[in-house]
Structure 1
Amino acid sequence: MKKTILFSSFILSNLIFAQEFKLTSNNFVSKADESKNYEVIEKPGKTKEQLFTEVKKYVTASYKGLKFDGYNEVANEQIVLDVRNEEGSKAKMLGMSLFSGFVSIRYEMNFKDGKFMIRPTFQKAETYSNNKTNTIYLTGGNFLQGSVFNKKGDVSLKQIYEMAVKTNDEFVSNLVKGVENNSNSDW
């Protein structure tokens, strides 16, 4: 019974936590406090070394081939990870995709006893259309090259915005779940 209650509360907290970041023209910020660009995940009773190991196990199992290319660490202190989510468009015309591309988000994770901090940063997006590659940044676009947010701070490229939010929500939710699964590895 105790395990069922604990598992249910864990699942509920994961569903809620995945929605804790908001993408703005100032990058990802905490929904609870927009002056913060990070969230702290509490794991009472765990040392920073244990948390570091659990996060590292999840990352290396889930994101193969990242060592030396998008992955850096300071042992038991910090992990920095570049995550790239590639996606093709569902919109097609004459059998050809109108949009495909990727979003790149950098995650910085710092560790302390009983908790770790995660800070996502939107790096860029690239789109491929008609044999042309277009790099899209968070802000600063013009009529030749778009950006996710226009000068007024409004979303100007909704598909890229949604892709970035989805990528971040999935990464954070899966990370929290992955750490929990590493913690409870009864075999």
Structure 2
Amino acid sequence: MDTAIAASSPYDQPLHSSFPSFSGKVNIKRGLCTHVERSLSEEKNSTLKTLKMMNIKKALSMAILLLVAQLSFAQYFKLTQNGFVSNDNSDFTVVDVPNVKQKDLYKNVLNAINTLYKNPQKGLSVVEGESISITAYEEEVLPIKLSSGLGKAIRKYDLSYKLTFLFKDGKIRINSPDFEAKRYVEGSYRGASGWSGDEWVTLRMKKVGKSKLYLFEDNGKVRFEDAYTGLNNHFNSLIKQIIDKSGTINNW
């Protein structure tokens, strides 16, 4: 920004007037630019520090949320080539419920199942006061992204499964879920092969024959991450719902 001195007319001033010389103007401009650059640099540094702090806070918040989610989500079972196993690789897990009698644990879980399922009696099998088994079927609850003639497409699989609970004083034993994931495929025209018939397609845990629809390679590598994650989440969440509900069923 130039410094100006007011005058009635520039033509009234002698050649040796007090107007700053051209070099003076350059020096003033240079000084002002240096000041502006310094201010911009300081502002930039301040902004960067603020952004860094925001990123740190954001990362910390995400870490806290993840920790809370992990703590609040019980991992009863994990899926393997041989089906679900507990964290110690057993075919069952045990939930401790201190100071609650066997008959009360049985009654509470039974009431929880009756609350969470529609018409559970159709698939319910019990040994009074000792064990409960629920056989259920859920439609299109497992989405899997699969290759098709036009790229990738989401296919939704039905789940049929069986959950079994056994009881002792202060303990609930949960057997690993027994399940099958399948979907109904209508017949289609396959060129030289002609028309294919309608059929049920099942997601296997291991490769069977020439089928390409299986979840685990021989070395244990997962082929469909969305199916693997979906199955783990579905059954662990379902068991957690039943256990949580059984603990509050009489609190009214």
Q: Same fold (TM over 0.5)?
A: yes
Closer/same/farther in 2, CA of residues 23 and 172 from structure 1, 3 Å limit: same
Q: What is the number of residues matched between the two proteins?
A: 169
Report deviation, 1:156.
2.6
The 2-side partners of 1:113 and 1:88 are apart by 36
Matched, 1:48 2:102: yes
Matched, 1:79 2:79: no
Of 62, 68, 83, the match for 2:116: 62
**What is the DSSP-based 3-state SS (H/G/I as helix, E as strand, rest coil) of the residue aligned with 2:134?**
strand
Per-residue CA deviation, residues 128-152 of structure 1 (Å, 9 max, x unaligned), is 4556530223334343352222333
Taking the TM superposition and a 5 Å limit, the aligned residue runs for 1:165-176 are 165-176=232-243
Task: Check conservation: 1:40, 1:116, Cα contact below 8 A.
Answer: yes
Closer/same/farther in 2, CA of residues 134 and 12 from structure 1, 3 Å limit: closer
Q: Any gaps of 5 or more consecutive residues in structure 2?
A: 1-67, 188-198
Task: Check conservation: 1:80, 1:109, Cα contact below 8 A.
Answer: yes
**What is the DSSP-based 3-state SS (H/G/I as helix, E as strand, rest coil) of the residue aligned with 1:99?**
strand
Match of 2:83 in 1: 27
The 1-side partners of 2:172 and 2:143 are apart by 35
Of 110, 114, 118, the match for 2:166: 110
Deviates more, 1:72-81 or 1:158-167: 158-167
The 2-side partners of 1:151 and 1:84 are apart by 29
Taking the TM superposition and a 5 Å limit, the aligned residue runs for 1:151-170 are 151-170=218-237
Closer/same/farther in 2, CA of residues 125 and 81 from structure 1, 3 Å limit: same
Paired amino acid for 2:125: N
After TM superposition, the score normalised by the length of structure 2 is 0.58
Q: Any gaps of 5 or more consecutive residues in structure 1?
A: 1-10
The 2-side partners of 1:13 and 1:150 are apart by 28
Percentage identity across aligned positions?
Answer: 22
The 2-side partners of 1:160 and 1:170 are apart by 15
Per-residue CA deviation, residues 2-60 of structure 1 (Å, 9 max, x unaligned), is xxxxxxxxx999724x22321111211112x12x1211111111111100000000001
Per-residue CA deviation, residues 59-91 of structure 1 (Å, 9 max, x unaligned), is 0111122323x3211111111112434326497
The 1-side partners of 2:170 and 2:80 are apart by 29
Q: What value does the CA root-mean-square deviation take over the aligned residues? A: 2.9
Higher share in helix: 2
After TM superposition, the score normalised by the length of structure 1 is 0.76
**What is the DSSP-based 3-state SS (H/G/I as helix, E as strand, rest coil) of the residue aligned with 1:46?**
coil
Matched, 1:15 2:72: yes
